[in-house]
Amino acid sequence: MIKNAQVDRKPKVLILTGSANDLPKLEEAFSFLEEMGVEYVKDISSAHRNPEKTITYAKSAKEEGIEVIIAAAGLAANLPGVIAAHTTIPVIGIPLATGPLSGLDALLSIVQMPKGTPVATVGIDGAKNAAILACQILAIKYEEIGEKLKKYKETLKGDPKK
């Protein structure tokens, strides 16, 4: 199911969003994962418009080698929860600032998941933090990612806007 001609190795992170319009908001995540040398695959999969595709991604991700899923969504923001309901892989939700509530609705939707279906959630439009959190999860298993994260965090001391 997961296809990405840009990487030779299997991706560790799957990044999904419900709309092509949301991809520019995820650029910081893509850039950070590339900086850390973490392979990822990205796609558009709407929990509302194509729920079968979304569920297939969630159910097949583990056997495809995915270890963390990042799901970005605005408005009702069902995408992260639908994915989390169908996998045991950690899911990180990014609420996106769309619609009249500027992402507050998405934030509340993602953090209010029912018991048994947790979704780690970053701040509104927090794509970079989602990528950092994904790397922290991966660093438990991959020492080289942990070393790169340590170096990155050292740079924050001089420039907190990074």
Angle between helices 27-36 and 127-139 (to 10 degrees): 30
More confident of the two residues 85 and 6: 85
Residue 137: what are its φ and ψ, rounded to 5°? Answer: -65, -45
Q: Are 53 and 153 in contact (CB under 8 A)?
A: no
Those residues with Cβ within 8 angstroms of residue 147's Cβ, 6 or more apart along the chain or in another chain: none
Stretch among 4-13, 22-31, 142-151 having the lowest mean pLDDT: 4-13
Q: Quick: pLDDT tens for 66-117.
A: 999 999 999 999 999 999 999 999 999 999 999 899 999 999 999 999 999 9
- State pTM to two decimals: 0.92
Fold of domain 13-149 = Rossmann fold (3.40.50)
Check whether 161 has a pLDDT greater than 90: no
